[in-house]
């Protein structure tokens, strides 16, 4: 059966050719005229063939969107007259909090006090089904939903107020999971032999297809706004992932 030619466009979005953009995946700047066709025929993919960034407002942002949202980045962001195609700006290496870690000193953001509840049978009942194989003192898990996180906090298995490795607190993550119940948290349990025993969250992930189509732009905006500057962010048309641990 002859197929329809793939080149027939089903989306007609075009960037302003002079618009400067910045790619969240490869951290490079380029202009709208250099964008490549995306899978549905629009011009919404990163200019660089070795990068899979795609979608305006998803991976491809107006060049000065991020420094507008985070004044701490303004000083390190290039001014418009300095922009050139291929210029790289990695906001995480530009984060002064990150460079502080380069001196080898322990991070002051890592929790050093234990969670109060040491009932490991109960902890296993809450997390066992989504836990992975232990790695040393840590037992990772994925797919933690809002109600389960609320139980871990209520019962004293996680500290509500201490950010882990520069990420949001468990309370802040819970607020996001309650607003977006299609999102899940990931993290690990630190073994009770350690002073920082307890459940630690290290990331949030969300399958976009679980969210009604009309709500997806709001989800992407909320995700980038909440988690865009706390660690690493991966956004593609079907999956949003942020991690900081
Ligand atoms: Zn890119």
Q: Is residue 14 domain-resident?
A: no
If you measure from the C-alpha of residue 63 to the centroid of ligand 1, how many angstroms do you get, rounded to a whole number? 12
If you measure from the C-alpha of residue 128 to the centroid of ligand 1, how many angstroms do you get, rounded to a whole number? 38
If you measure from the C-alpha of residue 211 to the centroid of ligand 1, how many angstroms do you get, rounded to a whole number? 25
Looking at the structure, tell me whether residues 126 and 86 fall in a common domain. Answer: no
Residues with CB under 5 A from ligand 1 (ion): 23, 25-26, 46, 51, 53
Distance from C-alpha of 155 to C-alpha of 71, rounded to nearest angstrom: 38
pLDDT at 176: 95
If you measure from the C-alpha of residue 235 to the centroid of ligand 1, how many angstroms do you get, rounded to a whole number? 12
If you measure from the C-alpha of residue 29 to the centroid of ligand 1, how many angstroms do you get, rounded to a whole number? 8
If you measure from the C-alpha of residue 221 to the centroid of ligand 1, how many angstroms do you get, rounded to a whole number? 19
If you measure from the C-alpha of residue 48 to the centroid of ligand 1, how many angstroms do you get, rounded to a whole number? 6
Q: What is the pTM of this model?
A: 0.57
Domain count, the chain: 2
Q: Is residue 153 domain-resident?
A: yes
Looking at the structure, tell me whether residues 142 and 191 fall in a common domain. Answer: yes
Q: Is residue 126 domain-resident?
A: yes
Looking at the structure, tell me whether residues 179 and 90 fall in a common domain. Answer: no
If you measure from the C-alpha of residue 22 to the centroid of ligand 1, how many angstroms do you get, rounded to a whole number? 8
Q: Is residue 66 domain-resident?
A: yes
Looking at the structure, tell me whether residues 132 and 224 fall in a common domain. Answer: yes
If you measure from the C-alpha of residue 202 to the centroid of ligand 1, how many angstroms do you get, rounded to a whole number? 25
Range of the domain at 59: 20-99
What phi and psi, each to the nearest 5 degrees, are found at residue 227?
A: -115, 0
Q: Is residue 115 domain-resident?
A: no
Of 22, 85, 13, 23, the C-alpha closest to 44 is 13
Angstrom distances, CA of residue 105 to CA of 33, 101, 108, 136, 155: 45, 6, 9, 22, 33
Q: Tokens representing 100?
A: 């502080």
pLDDT at 126: 96
Per-residue pLDDT of the chain (245 residues; tens, 9 = 90+): 333 333 333 446 678 889 999 998 888 899 999 998 876 667 788 988 888 888 887 788 899 888 877 777 777 888 888 888 888 887 766 444 444 444 433 333 444 689 999 999 999 999 999 998 888 888 999 999 999 999 999 999 999 988 777 789 999 999 999 999 999 999 999 999 988 899 999 899 998 888 998 998 899 888 888 887 776 777 777 888 888 86
């Amino acid at each position: 059966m002859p197929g329809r030619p793939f080149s027939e466009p089903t989306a007609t979005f075009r960037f302003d050719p002079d618009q400067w953009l910045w790619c969240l995946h490869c951290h490079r700047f380029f202009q709208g005229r250099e964008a490549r066709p995306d899978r549905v025929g629009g011009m919404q993919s990163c200019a660089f063939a070795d990068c899979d960034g795609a979608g305006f407002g998803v991976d491809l942002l107006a060049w000065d969107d991020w420094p507008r949202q985070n004044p701490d980045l303004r000083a390190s962001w290039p001014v418009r007259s300095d922009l050139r195609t291929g210029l790289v700006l990695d906001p995480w290496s530009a984060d002064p909090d990150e460079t502080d870690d380069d001196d080898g000193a322990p991070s002051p953001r890592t929790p050093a006090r234990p969670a109060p509840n040491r009932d490991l049978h109960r902890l296993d009942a809450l997390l066992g089904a989504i836990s992975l194989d232990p790695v040393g003192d840590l037992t990772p898990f994925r797919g933690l939903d809002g109600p389960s996180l609320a139980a871990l906090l209520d019962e004293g298995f996680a500290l509500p107020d201490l950010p882990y490795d520069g990420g949001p607190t468990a309370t802040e993550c819970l607020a996001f999971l309650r607003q977006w119940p299609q999102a899940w948290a990931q993290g690990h349990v630190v073994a009770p032999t350690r002073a920082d025993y307890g459940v630690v969250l290290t990331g949030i992930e969300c399958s976009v297809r679980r969210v009604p189509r009309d709500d997806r732009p709001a989800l992407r905006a909320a995700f980038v706004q909440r988690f865009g500057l706390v660690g690493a962010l991966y956004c593609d048309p079907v999956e949003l992932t942020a991690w900081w641990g």
